[in-house]
Amino acid sequence: MTTVPNTGGMRPDDLTIASDAALVVAIGRWRQDALAEAYRRHAGAVFALASRVTGTRALAEDVVQEVFLRLWHDADRFDPARGSLRSWLLAQTHGRAVDLVRSESARKGREEREHRGRAEAGYDLEHEVWDLAVADQVRDALEALPEAERQAIELAYYRGLTYREVAAVLDQPEGTVKSRIRAGLRRLRDGLRDAGLEVTT
Amino acid sequence: MTHDELQELLGAYALDAVEPHEAAAVEDHLRSCPRCRAEVADHRETAAYLAHAGAEAPPALWDRIAGAIDAPAGAVPLAPRFAGRGSQRRWATALVAVAGAAAAAVIVVLGVQVRDQERRMDEMEAALAVADRGLAAAMADPAAVMMDLVGDGGTHVPVVISGRTAWLQAGTLPALAPGRTYQLWGLAGEDLVSVAVLGHDPGVVSFDVAGYSLLAITEEVAPGVVRSENEPVAAGRLA
């Protein structure tokens, strides 16, 4: 059989320095090494978020697999004009993890998992390999938020609660919680920017 | 919901913290409101930092993923590639618009898939029965480039390019009713040019590909049109 050259032009050794957008293009051309590079760059954050929201390693691994397989099959659904690859992957991760947590089957085992899950899930600052300085800055920005805003965001984002559930947990009006999440995210963004972190859009 | 009510939901929406009916209402609104779309994108970029605690993903998990994508070609669906679908914009305008954008964005909109070469070769070889001999020569050319024009629902039309000549295997398209025809378009600079009228049940077509950055096939009324307002059934960007 004739060997047909790839029109991609990029050699495998280029991938480690390729931009995320270029990686997605290569993934769209079914370059498995490009997917591997995207995994190397972002799977840690994807896994950490999925672990934190689902509370179990097994579910988190399923989410990671699903998110990267979706990137493989539907690479063109990522639109670089609308944000970074990282935030896109993490938004999908969050959505999927939240679906799992809210599903009936997940609810049954949740209590049990909450005990053993935290230890098992690997959300462990000691073992982070990602930029600890950034983690510090994020923590500082989060802690600089008004307490009510920070709580609302954390319950929604890390625990996968809806704003109504957050309102019930905190015993606050739903409308207030809704506004606080929005205002808090904006304040957080400004805080991150002030700390010199890039929040692109 | 009013615009203000929808806006108030955007933060919670970006964190997946709304009820399904609210999510649906927001998504509906986002389609027509660039400002709210930008706000959601902003919230998501911010939220991404909350996930930044990046422990390493388990290495064994990559093996699982790599195993899943090594599945037989038949199990891998061809993704619909024309992202402009469903929008109000005329696709021709969209093509012209994206031609000036960054290459990466163009490829995302009109992806060229260079994948699964073996299966494509098989299809090409099957097509040889009806193809002209130039295609056989092109396929033997080690410098030939192969690509797919792709569309929704797994539509794909293999193309072999050797030098300035391209061979299009349009036999993969379903036959149309009499009175209808497929038409091939090329984007030259900012102009969308009619390259060929392919007929209602096309086979292999060859044409001069020089100067085109994109190819697209539409379905039209026979004997073809000067200007198309239809969305392409398949499209692809030339490398």
Q: What confidence tens digit (pLDDT) does each residue in B44-78 have?
A: 999 988 886 556 778 889 988 988 886 443 333 32
pLDDT bracket for residue A107 (50, 70, 90): low
Contact B50 A158 (CB under 8 A): yes
Report the candidate in B117, B151, B90, B127 with the shortest Cα–Cα distance to residue B206.
B127
- Percent with pLDDT over 70 in chain A: 78
Q: What confidence tens digit (pLDDT) does each residue in A153-174 have?
A: 999 999 899 999 999 999 999 9
pLDDT of residue B23: 95
Q: What confidence tens digit (pLDDT) does each residue in B144-184 have?
A: 788 888 888 778 888 888 888 888 888 888 888 888 889 89
Name every chain A residue with its beta carbon within 8 A of the beta carbon of B51: 45-46, 48-49, 52, 90, 93-94
DSSP assignment of chain B equals --HHHHHHHHHHHHTT-S-HHHHHHHHHHHTT-HHHHHHHHHHHHHHHHHT---PPPPHHHHHHHHHHHTS-GGGSPPPP-BTTTTSSS-HHHHHHHHHTS-HHHHHHHBPPP---HHHHHHHHHHHTTTS-HHHHHHHH-TT-EEEEEE-GGG-EEEEEEETTEEEEEGGGSPPPPTTEEEEEEEEETTEEEEEEEEESS--EEEEE-TT-SEEEEEEEETT--SS--SPPSEEEE--
Contact B69 A35 (CB under 8 A): yes
Mean pLDDT score of chain A, rounded to an integer? 80
Q: Which of A2, A83, A188 sits opposite B140 (nearest CB)?
A: A2
pLDDT bracket for residue A55 (50, 70, 90): confident
pLDDT higher than threshold 90 for residue A185: yes
Chain B residue with minimal CA distance to A98?
Answer: B16
The predicted model scores a pTM of 0.55
pLDDT of residue A16: 76
pLDDT of residue A43: 92
Q: Which of B11, B68, B139 sits opposite A181 (nearest CB)?
A: B11
pLDDT of residue B207: 82
Question: CA of A108 to nearest chain B CA: how many angstroms apart?
Answer: 20
Name every chain B residue with its beta carbon within 8 A of the beta carbon of A9: 239
pLDDT higher than threshold 80 for residue A62: yes
pLDDT bracket for residue B7 (50, 70, 90): very high
Contact B69 A5 (CB under 8 A): no
pLDDT of residue A141: 92
pLDDT of residue A127: 36
Q: What confidence tens digit (pLDDT) does each residue in B94-123 have?
A: 444 343 333 333 333 333 333 333 333 444
Question: CA of A120 to nearest chain B CA: how many angstroms apart?
Answer: 13
ipTM comes to: 0.78
Question: CA of B117 to nearest chain A CA: how many angstroms apart?
Answer: 8
